[in-house]
Each structure stands twice: as C-alpha cells, then as structure tokens.
Structure 1
C-alpha cells in the first residue's frame, strides 16, 4: 500500500515568495494562522472566505507527471481573496450550457478555497471535487460557491486537481522512474494531497478534521468512487456524496483488458503521435499546446488500475468489500442524457430495427431490456437506457453496497423541471441539481436555462441545502418541515426531488438488475468495457448460464 505523506507546511513556489507577502488589508479582514501558513481572506456577513490557498507545489518542469510535492513555505500573511488559476484544459471549440469563464489557467493550479461560518470551533467539513470528465472545470465556477452551505454551519472546501493529459497520463518511462513502478492517477493523487491538507489545517479554519465528507458531481462523483476505492485515501474522509457518478471500467497500467489498451501503451502511442521521443521533450512542451494536441488526438482521460493507487476495477473493489466503509448519499437526474446526447447512440430507422438490434446484442436479456426501454418511444428509451446504464446503475449499486457493508446510505432521483429547461427539452438535465443543493440559483453559467426567482424554486433549493448539510453534519439527511428521507433498504427506498421532495420505494424496478447482469457478462468476457457503449451501442453479450 502506498500512502502519500506531505508536510504541507507552506504554499508558495520559491519564485513567488515576494508576491505572497502582501500589504495589510482592512482590519476587518479575517486572518487565519494555520500550520500551512498565515492567510488573509474576506468576510461577507457571517461567512469568511479564503481563496487560492496552495496545497501542493506547482507540478511544472521536472515535477510534471510526478506525485504532488509539499508546497514551499511563504513568509508573512498570504493574501487569500482571489481564486487561484484553473488547471490547464483544452481550448474550448464549442460553447454549451456548461461553458463558464474560468479565467486564467496554469500548471501552477493546485489550490483550494475555504468558506467557513467561524474560524473557531469544530464544524463539519465538505470537500467539493468539480466535474468536467477529468478534462475541464475549476473550483472557481460560480455554481460551486460555498457561502450558502456555510450559512448552515458547514465548512466548505473546493479544490483544483490536474486535468487531462497533465493529470492522468501513464507511460512506460514514467513508471520506470517511479519508486513504485506506476504512472497515471496524478489528478487523483492531487485530490488525496488536498484531503491531507484538510486533515492538517482545517481546524484552524473552524473545521473538524475528524468529520470530513467528500463530495462531487459527474467526474467529481467518479473521483469520489476512486477515493473510496483507493488505499491511499483511507482515513481521510468519513462520508461520501456521489452525484451522477459512473462506475465505468478503466484502463489497466500494463495489460490490455476489458476492451481497453493498457494505459502505458496508450501513453506511448500519444508520445509517438506528438513526435516526442523522451520524457524530457514531453516535459518541455508548452502545457497548453500539449493539452490541446492530446485532446485532438483522442487521448482518453481515465484513472489507471495500477495495483497501488487503484488496486482493482472500481466494481471489483466494491465486490471484494475493500472500499471505504462510510455512509453515502448518491443519486442522479432523470434527464441526464438530454444535455449529453453525444453519449447516446443514434436511433435506427424504425422500431423493428430497434428491436432487432437489441435482441442481437442482449440475447436472453432482450425481453427485459425492451420492457424497460420499449421501441414504442425510441427517443425516450434511448435516453433512459444510456442514463440508467451509466448513472442509475452506479447510484443504486453504490448505496446498495454501502448498506450491505452496514453503512446507512441514501439514494435520490432529481426529477425537477422548470420552464426554461423544459422548453429546451432539458428536463432535469445533467448537473441541474447543482444550483439547488449549493443554493446558487442565481449564479449559473451564461447559457444555463434560467431558473425563475419564485418561492417554489427557493423552497426546493432550501430543502436540498438542508438535506445535504445535515448529511455532512452527522450522516443523516434531514430538513425542517420536509419529509423524512428514508435510508436505502431492501424495499428500495429513495427520495425524489420533483416540485417538492417526495420519498418513495421500489426504485425503478428491474433497472439495476438488468444493467448488473450486462456488466457481469462483460466482466466475464474480459474484452468488453462497460461505459457509454450500452443499448444500441452494446457489444453482443454472452448468453446467461
């Protein structure tokens, strides 16, 4: 077992020491003296915010594609009133509802932000991991502003981590120079380093280092699963929130398995495509050019099963009972694929053709597939099948696994729509729950369907803020004047967030069983991935015994 251990005693690169010692600001500005160093933030009402605090050294030059290292110590009081740079990510070529201005990007991006209701006491802590397919995103996105959650007595921490080729590249030469003979997973190691920073420093910001919840959505939810599966993160968190997570197959370091080339071979192939004969040349490339060229070449960003940071496929880790035994809150949105239509296969010309393909691919499982996703409404069936295979199956499997491990866990379905989203065909789309659970209804990206400023929307947001922060506080989601959220059990109990919170049971009967059977057959075959290739895009599954 590998364990990242950092001194975390400072936070400025040597070249930036002078910039860290800033002129004194207004006397009312909050100052915290933490083991990592002294920082000056800003206060708005009762909430103090500290932004852009480095938790690891800049991974530049020879430090590119190495585990995160302790940051340099700064002198004086560091100004912490501005976000740090976002991590390098591909230059946008199209705009979507998720597009937001994240400002400057840099390899010097391993920073975090803290919102706290008080710098004294021991409040529960939520560490937020942003989404973006492990390729894009930033902790500075306005959706993730932690002030509203902090008003409920929670310390909120949001983090950056290395993205794309800079955060997840594996390569034989990188493995050869590693004492553990592994490579890849640098972005995941960054997340662990941030959690270690929290463990060492958060008490100075009024947080309880022994009451930490990790949370994330989409690739942030996938990161939560990685952290639950990783031995190097054990003991650094006490609960987990996984929103729209996906328990997909992931490349193995040196072996071609489950339909994916080894991560090392994929990295070597990228180096050949870029005509970079050595690590020295790769490390000398401009980071933005490298990132853009890797993305254009089709480099796939995933975690790596390396036997150490990620010992097994996530599914296998949970099957072996080797995941972190912590309470979980998990769920997904009814319209996940409505804003991610690239994940859904195209519809065939007719219902007859739809049924023929499904019967060819699913064999003895086809009748059940067609019952759940009938040809009578192919468009909706394709969206639902892709949603369930990725997000629905993952969410229920996760809470089921934790419940069986003796941990009270909670399942939700976000099925809330509002006029602008519904009119655009985006009812309860991917990430639509975020402004509600963060309480940032008026802080969405420019192209996001506008949420009306009504009492109904504010009530739903208030309920979700309360449920989430209650879970962070003591592992039980509760909201005053709202229904009790039942723990998941054999009756499939869950909470639906529609116009109002509505508890239910018998969650999507048959859904998880179908997709579990499909994944199990792919695992047995050994040469088939389980991710976006589902439904009409599924490989031919082996017949059941």
Structure 2
C-alpha cells in the first residue's frame, strides 16, 4: 500500500510537470522558438538573446546578430547579470550568474495571441556601472496585467559599455568608440521592431522609459539618429544628458581609455581583449567604480552635443512624460551633521561652490533656520540630477511634442525590520552587498529619495519586502501606475477619475503634477533657480 501511494505521488508530479510544460506558452521569433511560462496570470519569456555574446573579439564591438537556434529554446530563467562590482546596496538580482555574456532581455505579455498591444521598454538605472533587467522593481508582470507588453533590457556597463580608445575608433567602420552600452539599447529596440508582434505587441506603439541612468539613456536615445525612429513615446524619471550630467567629446574619452590601458600595461587592443573579464573589471574600478560611465559624443550614436540636437528640434518628435523626486540628494552632502542654520548653510555653499556661491545663495536662499533643510535638499538634488531633468523638459517644450511634468513626493514608509543582506535576498539569486548591513531603525523618510518612485510607477510594491507598505502607498502606486499606463497606451496620462494633468506650455505658468497621497496640480515656483543653473552649466 505504501509503495502504491509513493508511486501515485511520483506519477502525479510527473503528469503535473508534463502538463505545465505542454501548457507553457511558445512563440516563434526571428531566430527560433521560445518557451516561456505563466506567472500571476501573464506570460513571461526571460533570458532572450538580442545580440551575440560580446566576448572575445566582440568585446568593445557594437552588438552583432544572434545566431539562430534549432528546436525550442527555454525562456523561463533570466539571463546572466551584467558584469559589475558591488556599488549600490539596494540592488537584488534574480539571475543565477554574472557574466560578460549578458545581452539578454525579458518580456511579459498579457497573451501572445493578442495583437497590437502597446509596448513598454524599461532601461534600468545604476549610474551606467550597475543594474540589471532581472531586478524585481522593474518586473513587467504588473504592467502586462494592464494590457501592456513590457520588457527589461540588459546593456553593458562600466568599462565594457563605455571605454573609448583610439584603436577602437580606428577599427570601427563608423570611426567611433565608447558607447557600447548605448548601442546595446539601440539593438534591443531594433529587436523589438522585428519581434514584438510575436508577443502581441505593436512595433508602432513602443514607449521607452527609465530611471536615473535609464532616464539619461532615454534622453540619449531621443537624440541619437540611430534610435529616434524606433519608439513612439518616452518616459524619463530623474535625469537627462542636457545639464549637469554631460556627454564627453570622443578625443577626451579616447584619452581616458588610453591612459587606463597604459596603466595596466596593455599596449594593444589584442592585449586588452585577452585580459579575463573579471580581472579587467577589478582593474577598471579600483579606487573609482565610476571611472567608465560617460556617454561619448562619438560622431555615430551621438553626432554632436545632445543639447544642440534638442535645441534644433532634431530629437525624436514624441510625447514625453518626465519628472524628478523631492529628495534626489540629501542636504547632508552640503552640511554633513552640522546644525541646520543659515550661517552653516552659507559657509557650506561657499566651500562647495566658491565661484558660484554668491549667485546660488540668492536663488537658493532660506529665510530662516527652519527652511535650511529644505533649501539645502533642493540645491543638492538639483545639482545632482533635478536640473538636468528640468532642462530636458524645458527644451522639449520648446522644440518637441507634448510634455507632461511631475514631481514625485511620496516618502517611503518605515522599514519592516532591521535590514541586512537578507533584505536584498527577497528577490533571490545574486545579492549585492547592502549598504544597510547594520540594524536599521524603523523610521520613515521625510521626502521621496532618488529611485523611490520605481516600485510605485511599475506597480511592484509587493515585490519589495523591505518596507512596511500602507494603504496610502498602494493608493499612490495605483494612481502613478495608471498615469504611466495611460501614457504608454495613448501618449496622454489622463483619464476620467484621475486628477487632471495638463501639458507643459511654453511661455505660460509651468504646471506639473505633485504625486503624493493627495496628488495636486502645482505651478512652478523656483524657475529662477533653473535659469541660473542653466546659465552656469550650459554656457
């Protein structure tokens, strides 16, 4: 009897496995067939190669075509994480390995049998030195449940994605080097044009989106002649190339690459390509993990300064939804642990910006000690990334299509418990070392810090067990995701029942949506700050 019982259980498990396999969705794309899986009512296809592995002789080459495969390729697991070091403590990757062979993307779809669905392609943040498409906060299942085919895309980082070198420029048919990570993104968008219909998507209804480095990427893709015709709408969350985060002339990027090669004793491309990837990564990040993170004006991906492209109206003529958060950078970068007084603030600004201090203190002026924290937070955040986002919105309003601007102001709630590396493990797979390894007090933030909006906008609060999410958090998430989903579907975030979100109008009082528990329409009050930063940044 016991043997019969065990045999029955084994048979049942085998039948269940067979049933799951036979009912897993299968699609045929240009390179072959893919078998995905069904998760939370949507279909997912993971680890899909969109370019050949950029290894060996293909290291520092623009993406090459994928080889076709025979049979059905398994697409139920994430591809390898992009090669990188431990830079940010809040990143948890669901891939099982890390490799230089990293050019894979992931697709979530309501149903492959549907047709002409809107498409979202999301590019992760991480300063162009960290990040991966397997992070749970970017998961596309929630957007897919709203009728959107959603993708995340891996692109090369650090030295593998951004090193220029005179010999690389010489061997390139385009006489360009340095933008390999950006060319990966272009290749992914071309893959979408060729293949997304197999997943139910419409190649004419593609929205690109990203946060931080992903948002900077969005502005670069809008500017590049290689990509500006590959999408219909754009979303930028905190960041652009049009401000304090500049692109670099090719000669300067080449010099940086040459100096690094000489430093490690690699006097040829052959020598550089022969260095094991892990060793090269360590050498390139030692003492400075951000050594290679700059987008280059290479004459190919970026033929000229991106600001000039936007000012002449040569960028992608698509609707743009963009904004930034209420605390992109903490006031402590200026004041440290000093008492929040006007005197200390004044001295801190004079130390940090000796040539600009006089003017900065006029436009970032607290009228009392009580205002110092907010004003210092604004200055630090604008200098970091807020101004560059404002500049993108301002120029696009003058030379592009419709623009919808937001300020995201909902602070995260207190953490659920003391957080160590185990907190990052909520997503499984590779875990980057946490900067919050010590016990953390359960304390709510005052403002929305950099990157805090991602889980809200993508409908992924439940994937992050670190925080004690409340009903108010889900209320904000539902609102923000609805805005984003509407924009992805129609190019307009509005719908009946949501607070009215008008476009930014040139010459009029600039209006924007302040997204919080009580979302409100606001009028820009500090334009003089951005006008001044524009004068000293883009002169």
Q: In the alignment, which residue of structure 1 is the partner of 2:24?
A: 29
Residue 470 (str. 1) matches residue 486 (str. 2): yes
Aligned to 2:256: 266
Task: Confirm or deny that 1:250 pairs with 2:250.
Answer: no
**Structure 1 CA distance, aligned partners of 2:366 and 2:204?**
43
Mapping 1:376-387, distance limit 5 Å = 378-387=372-381
**CA gap 1:374/1:474 in 2 versus in 1, 3 angstroms:** farther
Which of residues 267, 271, 296 in structure 2 aligns to 1:304?
296
- The answer (yes or no) to whether the contact 2:163–2:292 under 8 Å persists in 1 is no
> Equivalent residue for 2:511?
493
- 1:286-316 Cα offsets, whole Å, 9 max, x none, are 1111112101153231111112211223222
Q: Deviations over 1:39-98 (max 9, x none)?
A: 1111135311000000000000001000100011000111111010011112x2x76234
SS of corresponding position for 2:176: coil
TM-score, normalised via structure 1 length: 0.83
Selected match of 2:108 from 110, 115, 119: 115
- The CA deviation at 1:138 is 0.4
Equivalent positions of 1:27-176 (< 5 A) are 27-90=22-85, 92=86, 96-98=89-91, 102-119=95-112, 120-176=114-170
Q: Residue 393 of structure 1: CA displacement?
A: 2.0
2:395 corresponds to 1:398: no
Instruction: Please give the per-residue CA displacement for 1:158-184, whole angstroms capped at 9, x wherever unaligned.
Output: 100111101111001111111222111
CA apart distance, 1:374? 7.8
Equivalence for 1:431: 451
The answer to whether the 8 A contact 1:122-1:208 is kept is yes
- Equivalent in the alignment of 1:283: 273
Unaligned runs of 5+ in 2: 1-17, 416-441
Match in the other structure for 2:329: 337
Q: What SS does the corresponding residue of 2:520 show, helix, strand or coil?
A: strand
The 8 Å contact of residues 358 and 366 in structure 1, kept in 2 or not, is answered as no
**In terms of mean alpha carbon deviation, does 302-311 or 358-367 score higher?**
358-367
Aligned length: 484
Tell me the C-alpha RMSD between the 2 structures. 2.5
Aligned 8 A contact 1:496 1:502 in 2: yes
Check if 1:371 corresponds to 2:365: yes
Q: Which residue of 283, 292, 301 corresponds with 2:282?
A: 292
* Superposition TM-score, scaled by structure 2 size: 0.84
1:517 to 2:535 alignment: yes
How far residue 402 of structure 1 moved from its aligned partner, in angstroms, is: 2.1
Deviations 1:238-288 (A, max 9, x none): 11101011332122111xxxxxxx000000011111111211111111111
CA distance in 2, matches of 1:358, 1:89: 31
CA distance in 2, matches of 1:306, 1:441: 39
Aligned to 2:355: 361
The separation in 2 between residues aligned to 1:390 and 1:26, in whole angstroms, is 49
Report the Cα offset of residue 25 of structure 1: 5.8
What is aligned with 1:12? none
Runs of 4+ in 1 over 6 A off after TM superposition: 372-376
C-alpha change, 1:269 and 1:503, in structure 2 (3 Å) is same
Contact conserved, 1:355 with 1:370, CA < 8 A, in 2?
Answer: no
Distance 1:374 1:63 in 2: 58
Residue 373 of structure 1 and its aligned partner are, at CA, apart by 9.1
Distance 1:496 1:456 in 2: 15
Q: Is the 8 A contact 1:347 1:382 kept in 2?
A: no
In the alignment, what sits opposite 1:20? none
Which moved further from structure 2: 347-356 or 474-483?
347-356
What SS does the aligned partner of 2:530 have? Answer: helix
Which of 215, 226, 237 is 1:221 aligned to? 215
The residue number in structure 2 matching 1:461 is 477
For 2:377, what is the secondary structure of its paired residue? helix
- Displacement of 1:223 in angstroms is 0.6
SS in 2 for 1:222: helix
Query: Equivalents in 2 of 1:61, 1:272: separation in Å?
Result: 20
SS of 2:463's partner is coil
Secondary structure (helix, strand or coil) at the match of 2:406 reads strand
Q: Provide the rounded CA distance (Å) in 2 between the counterparts of 1:168 and 1:373.
A: 44
Task: State the secondary structure of the residue aligned to 2:461.
Answer: coil
TM-aligned CA distance change 1:363 to 1:83, over 3 Å: closer
Is residue 343 of structure 2 the alignment partner of residue 325 of structure 1?
no
Q: Distance in 2 between matches of 1:293 and 1:110?
A: 22
Specify whether residues 36 and 214 from structure 1 end up closer, same or farther in structure 2 by C-alpha distance, changes over 3 A only.
Answer: same
Distance 2:147 2:168 in 1: 44
**Structure 2 counterpart SS, 1:331:** strand
1: CA distance between counterparts of 2:202 and 2:384? 34
Structure 2 vs 1, CA of residues 357 and 164 (structure 1 numbering), >3 Å: closer, same or farther? Answer: closer
Q: Which stretch shows the higher mean deviation, 407-416 or 310-319? A: 310-319
How far residue 372 of structure 1 moved from its aligned partner, in angstroms, is 6.5
Q: 5+ unaligned residues in a row in structure 1: which ranges? A: 1-22, 255-261, 524-545
Distance 2:178 2:335 in 1: 30
- Per-residue CA deviation, residues 515-536 of structure 1 (Å, 9 max, x unaligned), is 112213xx3xxxxxxxxxxxxx
Distance 1:423 1:80, change over 3 A: same
Secondary structure at the residue paired with 1:275?
coil
